[in-house]
Structure 1
Amino acid sequence: MADFAVSSLAYGANIRSSAGFGDNVVGFLPEATAVTKTGPQQGDRWIPCRADLGGAARDGFVSKNVLRDAVSDARERLARTAVAEWLRFDRGTGKEFQTPYFRFVGEYWQNINLDLDGLDRGWPWSAAYISWCIEQAGAYGDFKQAAAHSRYVHQAIRRREDNENGSFWGFRLNEHKPQIGDMVCMARGSFSATYDHAKDNDRFSSHCDIVIAIRSDHVSTLGGNVGHTVKRKTFRTNSSGFLRPEQRLYAVMRNNL
């Protein structure tokens, strides 16, 4: 397990060949990159560390100001996968109907065995995006991958209600403070989804995003098919850390891994 992960303060961090600022930047580590400490801190901020840089391990120094404590490997992998897709969509500027981005949407569909190529504009792909991230992250073999968020929201709530093991449990907004690797669930379209409705039904309009950052007054998320791309959003939390009942939120799925 890594010691740290790159925080979302600047959407990434420079890794340097030596401690201190200067002409010593050897690469850029995207947000959520795993960082392993290799020695004692130098000076007031510099952490000697090892991180993946372009598919190869790289030793260097990163400022502690752009790092956060790592959570579990499974949670971190899910966050990194969500960020990787955001980067594939050029930080939310690439649109689903453009080349090459429609091909990525096609990959999401193929992952859940639907014969769509990404140019089928009438098919919302946000749940396929979640399913892709889950598949790529691994360790979530019991997750109900689907083309509709309602299927796995219902599964998570039922498992929690019935005290069954599962990688995700569903909670009301005032029952669980969202953490990295969790999902936030909101109503979509004209249907006003509620926790109680989702407990008893697995077919209704909904949307989920993956939590990638926690702040004192909000959480940051990534979701698919938001503005025709993979896009960041923020959801406010109250002074106790629970999601505020706004933006049509109705549940949070706790990552149990």
Structure 2
Amino acid sequence: MPILLSFAAFLMTLLGGLVAHRVKERRHLVLGAAAGVMLGVVAFDLLPEALSREPAELGGVPVPMLMFALAFLGIHAVERSMGMHDAHEGDYASHRHSHAGVGLVAGTGLVVHSFLDGAAIGAAFQTDATLAVAVAIGVIAHDFTDGFNTYTITSLYGNARRRAVLLLGLDALAPMTGATLTSLIAIPAGILGAYLGMFAGFLLYLATSDILPEAHTTSRAAAPTLLATVAGTAFMWVVIALTD
């Protein structure tokens, strides 16, 4: 089952790249909804599940929450050091040729993101089906935006289309690889809560720092984008309620 769900993530990553190639005007709605779904996964399932496992404490703070903060700050530090957010869409034209390497580095970072997404699916199946379904939905929504961003960032920074397509293919295969490896390795119960907290921080960072800012680059569509985000969050609430 984890590999089957990761195959859905594979398809959604490719779909995201196709949409990035074809559609421009309504991408803010898709990105806004995806961010809402990811927020719902973190708030309604990942963190409650991590804290319900009677986690150990360090300095009076549950270890999953420490991992949550560490993952959020860690991915922030990595992205800052790689310069993944140094340019805005309006600046891409002037960066096409001089910063092609930045596009490759950013695209490679998104491939790593997708690998961790697949690993989260495999780990979730070591807890219960409800958590696994919620995580899979969040991952699939996120991998759509990963595919979208991988193709967009790589190509807009001046790389040839074949490079963008190659990175998109690697990004699509990454969640299947992560899910397969995690399914073969049993995670000790004491570590699983910390892992869930870490993935929650990772997912929340992507939603708030990567996806939402990009969704709101079109100021005229601020209200519809906000509604799409609220709808995505509400959708996850319904999913959790129905699968609990």
TM-score (norm 1): 0.27
From the two aligned structures, give the one with the greater strand fraction: 1
Flag the structure with larger Rg. 1
Q: Which has the higher contact order (CA 8 A, sep 6+)?
A: 2
From the two aligned structures, give the one with the greater helix fraction: 2
